[in-house]
């Protein structure tokens, strides 16, 4: 941590700050510049939040942290990539996992048919919402436990493991007992009670980035889950909120190399929610594969016009099958296993 | 709802869309333009989400909603402003409510002393966090139930009602039994399970706008609470996330006139979290009063340098007292009652 | 400047960086931390951009600048506020300047009538566009030199000085010969050729913040003008681009206290362009006055329905007159002179 | 254009608006809804800005445009993709153009060596700044005409055509006489005087998207250039400004499929300015190729540590050569010609 003092601090003030830094258990090194004095505080990083109290000291202009605040999610803890396996689906370390399915579970026929057909087309995991976070209290909120049962039926018929969203900490056990992996949605990326409970449950977690979450905050949310003992976290970039409105959100494709540089966790792309437009999904899946992402999560519906939510962004099953064929061709470029 | 068709749609296609609109229970009016045909769908607005399925129809370019999606939060339901009363504190309809207190409850001495002194200085409600949502799992997470007890003690000593944040739906009853009003924080503005549970509990709610929540979404979150039967919702603008980093967030002061135009609910300002800088708090409180806001929520700490969180943005108690004096002077401008 | 080295740098590498820093003419102080080594470079700040080459050195993780990059715009050069006077209009140092007028100059009758009536209502400067930057090449682009002549006629009839926008460096002399002050618009805030030319011309400049300009960049643009010898720069906050679309832009009201803390230059508010909605203009003008802004620039049109641009955000003249009455009442709060 | 009227408009008012719409030369169709009346205005789109005056009519709530405002840049004018050729470099219609070179021209040796070596490695066009737009007036501003001469020398030695930025309308002829293509930078994307002058000059233009320019505005800027007669415009996505700061800007990769859907113009990617970090450049180039972009523009410097600007984002020449090898391998996926 670097502590920048205000212009014109007297020597006595500088010494008082140094004393304070030392009291907090750090070593202090002052650098007297032409216009400013800065103090470097050296010590165990985990305790650096103690130093943040210094920001309220009148002569302190600002604190500049030097280290990233996450540990377990960082490469400093683990150099080699984490491979998350959910049944036959693998993410990370050269594996490109493909998750497909409808926004919402609607009927047994819909989800079972989708599961069988996306499996055949090349998907390795099924997705489908049973508990839906909806902006409007009047919109369809999902089939809840009935939806979980239908997902389990689809798994039985297709052999695909499934991931589904949990939105309430109280439902973690309920959802977790049915599902192969738990999804924590964009709106809940800083729902810390949910992160903790899901982390404790232990099943793999697909953690979606929030609309306005920085990559650092995103990794801090993963840290919450990891700190509860869960080791299998799949990060999912699904677009951030910007001024651009040609797409529903703005896919931050750079998050892939940034996260690969900072973390050992796999990072996948959800181009369906990022854009909200079906036609943009295939090119962004290709971009994801080419830049080294560890998988994709795409919305597929047997009849998008009848979907109860997010129809315009859902691929038809035949489109999805064509997409997988293209992705397999593309995977030769970097040797990703699908 | 206006349905815009793609260029070059044939008459037969247009008729098929019209048929679909009618099947969904709406009247359809087509307007044939030089380059595009648009169809107006007329009917009960609550069911308009049914129409959204049309977005997945290939010849449909886009849907343009005409009405706002919220009802109970809107002025169309209730023209006169809602006045929320929490014990002696009033918000809305000419009342300017002042909430003050520390970011976190730390010790009995700290919270009791703060309560007594901010009451004397002019605050009408105490704030203080017992359950703290923190970006890092390693940061101070609050005193939890012990904190609630200290807040209750501070109320007893000072006579001030208090508001405190609830972050887990399971804790609504626990927190609600102690508190006079429940705060739902920025990170939980779309935690729909929490909104529902808090709305059912029935005590007044201070709902903070999320960092990347539009005003429309913010009002939809209020709609969740209202639709559960709670009538006393205080909206709180606390800054949105933008590219500017001179302040922690960007205070969207325009939210005050926008919300006053659209909703009957009171809207207050939290300049402490919006800026993260103590010196910017008083001018923004003056701006809030002058533009017609219904109150403020400010962080005050007896010793900001020792605060366990957010010290740099906390006012000292004497600064707060001076601020209230100024606000009273300013309130003569528009007759707000403090 | 603080130079943060990557984890695990060897002593030899650290010494090589220190050598480089010294070669560039700075003193170097190394602080060896538990996980990182950082180097403080001490020397004349003006040359610090030399150090930026260090960012490309493999063992350097990042550079952290300590000082603001602007000089002439900063309070370190000049503590007391600059008062910009344009004829009878004053901005800064306790003066609250009121600029009013139409988006575009349209006809002699329109601009002369507006000038006379806004003067009577309390404006101290007239605004009106002769050269209009328009997003579409097919939209009305302004009356150009003819517009300047009409503005001069309006000045003669009303006695009000006027400010008008210049968008092309080649036109600085032409516009400057007619106008009392030059406006540099939001889209040109980093048009450095224009900034330089306008700065050389010497007349007072109203510099609008760009839609995505940080406050630091905004002050750097002012620095361009000041570095050419012009001393009279009025900064104008007119809204930044964010995700919120209830208003055309998001007025960053916090820019007022931030700029007052960092710079001696006056900062005024343009609520018309910030919101794009007439009804939101008065409350934001009140906010501007209350939080200490040095003036406002508002769009006023004798017949907004017939305005060739920006009609919806223009006040009618009678609304403007009522606004000034209110502002005068409000000015008693902080003693601003109008 | 759809005109939405306010709630509770009387029949007489509706008729008055219809009359006004007709006076402006459009046909008017009213749709009376349950809560709102909307009016469709049908007519020649080019004149629709006339209708914008209606927004100032008190009973009008808002105007909803149906068509995109650009014509010449749109696919409605030209279905097949435009191929821009600059000497041997081709962009669009299956061609993937590679532009490489340093941020700034510094010395003859630097630019000639870079040109020869990037040509050998596979670049088809050279880039290099002679006139540099810099945030600080104290930073290196480029070699100006001397830089143009060095670029011409590099062209002569290497055989590569070059593109360089022009920042002042007055310099269009000067720069254009030397250069093979003119670059208009992000900060000047709405410098309409510059767009017009460059469009008139006639040489191909590389138009960079602004930091906060929507795709629609970006295409409107292209429309300015096209409307002056220039047909060869290469659009360049170089990152937009968002809250994320792990990268300098956020590369909006979705702009590639969005622009391909809306426009016939080629769209290339500049990952160097988008991220500001060398290591992120190759993965983003792969993403660009895979999602169908028409080329890339990358910063390459023979010795990034000595670069006078943007060293940290510049590739070494050997890195660039390796990148091109990879891109050629990847191009087999979609058959792009490099």
Identify the pLDDT of residue C46.
55
Residue B242 near residue C255, CB atoms below 8 Å: no
DSSP state of D71: S
Q: What is the pLDDT of residue A327?
A: 98
Q: Residue D268 is encoded by which pair of tokens? A: 């290339």
Q: Is the pLDDT of residue B229 over 80?
A: yes
Q: What is the pLDDT of residue A227?
A: 94
Percent of chain B at pLDDT > 70 equals 98
Please enumerate in sequence order all residues whose Cβ is within 8 A of that of D304, keeping only pairs 6 or more positions apart, or say none. C56, D278, D311, D312, D314, D315, D316
Distance CA B284, CA B248 (A): 14
**Separation of alpha carbons A129 and B166, rounded Å:** 26
Q: Rounded to 10 degrees, what is the CA torsion of A40, A44, A45, A49? A: -80
Per the structure block, which two tokens stand in for C24? 């560039």
pLDDT-based confidence at residue D154 (cuts at 50, 70, 90):
very high
pLDDT at position D228 is 95
For the cut 60, the answer to whether the pLDDT of residue A45 exceeds it is no
pLDDT tens string B155-186: 999 999 999 999 999 999 999 999 999 999 99
Residue of D46, D168, D187 with shortest CB distance to C138: D46
Least confident of B161-170, C329-338, D115-124, D130-139: D130-139
Q: Is D294 a residue whose pLDDT tops 90?
A: yes
Q: How confident is the model at residue B324 (pLDDT cuts 50, 70, 90)?
A: very high
Query: What pLDDT shows up at residue D222?
Result: 97
Of residues A32 and C201, more confidence is placed in: C201
The verdict on a CB contact (< 8 Å) between C333 and B286 is yes
Is the per-residue pLDDT at B67 higher than 60? yes
Whether residue D17 has pLDDT greater than 90: no
| Residue-level pLDDT at B48 | 62
How many residues make up chain B in this entry? 338
Measured in degrees and rounded to the nearest 5, phi and psi for residue A55 equal: -60, -25
pLDDT band at C139 (very low <50, low <70, confident <90, very high): confident
CA distance A86 to chain D (A): 27
Instruction: Answer yes or no: is pLDDT of D49 > 80.
Output: no
C213 vs C219: CA distance, rounded Å: 10
pLDDT at C65 over 90: no
Q: Strand, coil or helix: what is A126?
A: strand
DSSP state at residue C331:
H
Which residue in D31, D38, D45 is closest to B35 by CB distance?
D45
- pLDDT higher for B327 or D31? B327
Work out the minimum CA distance from C273 to partner chain D, whole angstroms.
15
Only one residue has tokens 């009148």, namely A58
What average pLDDT is seen over chain A?
A: 92
User: Is the predicted pLDDT of residue D201 greater than 80, yes or no?
Assistant: yes
Distance from the D146 Cα atom to the nearest Cα atom in chain A, whole angstroms: 36
d(CA D100, CA D125): 6
SS3 A105: coil
Alpha helices in C228-334 (DSSP H): 255-262, 271-275, 281-290, 317-331
What local confidence, expressed as pLDDT, does residue B261 receive?
Answer: 95
Q: Which of D38, D242, D243 sits opposite B66 (nearest CB)?
A: D38
- What number is the average pLDDT over the span B110-116? 97
Least confident of A25-29, A69-73, C97-101, C247-251: A25-29
pLDDT in tens, A264-284: 999 999 999 999 999 999 999
Q: Where are the alpha helices (DSSP H) in chain B?
A: 11-23, 108-121, 145-158, 172-178, 192-201, 215-226, 255-262, 271-275, 281-290, 317-334
Report the alpha-carbon distance of residue C13 to residue D226 in Å, rounded: 53
Q: Which CATH architecture has domain A84-334?
A: Alpha-Beta Barrel (3.20)
Count CB pairs under 8 A between chains C and D. 114
Could you give the CA distance from residue B220 to residue B16 in angstroms, rounded to a whole number? 33
User: Residue D34 has which token pair?
Assistant: 């349950």
The confidence band for D272, taking pLDDT boundaries of 50, 70 and 90, is very high
Q: What integer pLDDT is reported at residue C47 of this predicted model?
A: 61
Fold that domain D2-64 belongs to in CATH? Alpha-Beta Plaits (3.30.70)
Chain D positions in Cβ-Cβ contact with residue C314 (cut-off 8 Å):
56
User: What value does the CA radius of gyration of chain B take, rounded to a whole number of Å?
Assistant: 23
Domain locations along chain A: 2-64, 84-334
pLDDT: which is higher, B136 or D336: D336
* Band (A316; pLDDT cuts 50, 70, 90): very high
Q: Count CB pairs under 8 A between chains B and D.
A: 55
Least confident of A17-31, A202-216, B143-157, D246-260: A17-31
Note the pLDDT of residue B45: 57
DSSP A242-274: -S--SSSSB-BTTHHHHHHHHBSS-EEE-HHHH
Average pLDDT over residues D156-178: 97
Q: What is the mean pLDDT of residues B230-234?
A: 97
Residues in chain D with CB shorter than 8 Å from the CB of B46 are none
Give the residue-averaged pLDDT of D203-221. 97
What is the pLDDT at residue B41? 81
E strand residue ranges, C151-294: 162-165, 181-184, 205-208, 233-237, 267-269
Q: Is the pLDDT of residue D50 over 90?
A: no
Strands (E), chain D: 2-5, 27-32, 37-42, 60-64, 84-86, 89-91, 97-101, 125-127, 162-165, 181-184, 205-208, 233-237, 267-269, 295-299
Predicted pLDDT at D48: 62
Residue, of B137 and C86, whose pLDDT is higher? C86
Are D254 and A251 a contacting pair, CB within 8 Å? Answer: yes
Average pLDDT, chain B: 92
Beta carbons within 8 Å of D109's beta carbon, 6+ residues apart: none
pLDDT at C10: 84
The predicted model scores a pTM of 0.93
Closest chain B C-alpha to D315 CA, distance in angstroms: 27
pLDDT tier, D241 (very low <50, low <70, confident <90, very high otherwise):
very high
- Across the beta sheet with A2-5, the strand order is A27-32, A37-42, A2-5, A60-64
Best mutation target among B26, B66, B211, B213 (most D Cβ atoms within 10 Å) is B66
Contact: D224, C46; criterion CB under 8 Å: no
What is the arithmetic mean of pLDDT over A289-299?
98
CA distances from A151 to A181, A184, B193, D328 (A): 12, 17, 22, 43
Of residues B171 and B25, the one with the higher pLDDT is B171
- From CA B112, how far away is CA B253, in angstroms rounded? 32
Is residue A161 scored above 80 in pLDDT? yes
CA distance B67 to B49: 12
Q: Do B138 and A188 touch (CB under 8 A)?
A: no
pLDDT at D45 exceeding the cut of 70: no
For residue range A95-145, what is the model confidence (pLDDT) as tens digits?
999 999 999 999 999 999 999 999 999 999 999 999 998 888 888 889 999
**Who among C7, C32, C242 is closest to A76 (CB)?**
C7
Nearest Cα to B276, choosing from B239, B312, B240? B312
The superfamily (CATH) of domain C84-331 is: Aldolase class I (3.20.20.70)
């Amino acid at each position: 941590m670097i502590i920048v003092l205000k212009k014109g601090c007297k020597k006595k003030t500088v010494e008082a700050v140094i004393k304070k830094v030392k009291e907090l258990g750090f070593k202090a090194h002052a650098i007297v510049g032409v216009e400013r004095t800065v103090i470097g505080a050296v010590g165990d990083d985990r305790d650096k939040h103690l130093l943040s109290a210094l920001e309220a000291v009148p002569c302190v202009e600002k604190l500049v942290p030097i280290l990233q605040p996450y540990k377990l999610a960082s490469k400093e803890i683990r150099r080699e990539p984490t491979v998350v396996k959910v049944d036959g689906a693998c993410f990370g370390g050269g594996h490109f996992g493909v998750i497909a399915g409808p926004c919402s579970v609607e009927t047994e026929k819909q989800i079972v048919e989708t599961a069988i057909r996306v499996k055949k087309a090349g998907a390795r995991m099924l997705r489908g919402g049973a508990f839906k976070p909806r902006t409007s209290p009047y919109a369809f909120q999902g089939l809840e436990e009935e939806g979980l049962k239908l997902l389990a039926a689809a798994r039985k018929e297709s052999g695909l493991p499934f991931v589904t969203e949990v939105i309430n900490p109280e439902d973690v056990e309920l959802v977790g007992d049915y599902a192969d992996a738990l999804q924590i949605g964009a709106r809940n990326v800083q729902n810390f009670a949910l992160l903790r409970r899901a982390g404790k449950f232990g099943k793999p977690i697909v953690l979606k980035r929030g609309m306005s979450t920085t990559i650092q905050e995103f990794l801090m949310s993963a840290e919450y889950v990891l700190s509860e003992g869960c080791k299998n976290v799949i990060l999912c970039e699904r677009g951030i909120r910007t001024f651009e409105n040609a797409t529903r959100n703005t896919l931050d494709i750079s998050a892939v190399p940034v996260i690969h540089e900072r973390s050992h966790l796999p990072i996948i792309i959800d181009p369906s929610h990022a854009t909200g437009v079906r036609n943009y999904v295939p090119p962004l899946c290709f971009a994801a594969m080419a830049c080294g992402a560890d998988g994709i999560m795409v919305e597929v519906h047997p009849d998008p016009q009848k979907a109860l939510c997010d129809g315009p962004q859902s691929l038809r099953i035949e489109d999805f099958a064509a997409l997988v064929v293209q992705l397999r061709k593309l995977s030769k470029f970097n040797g990703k296993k699908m």
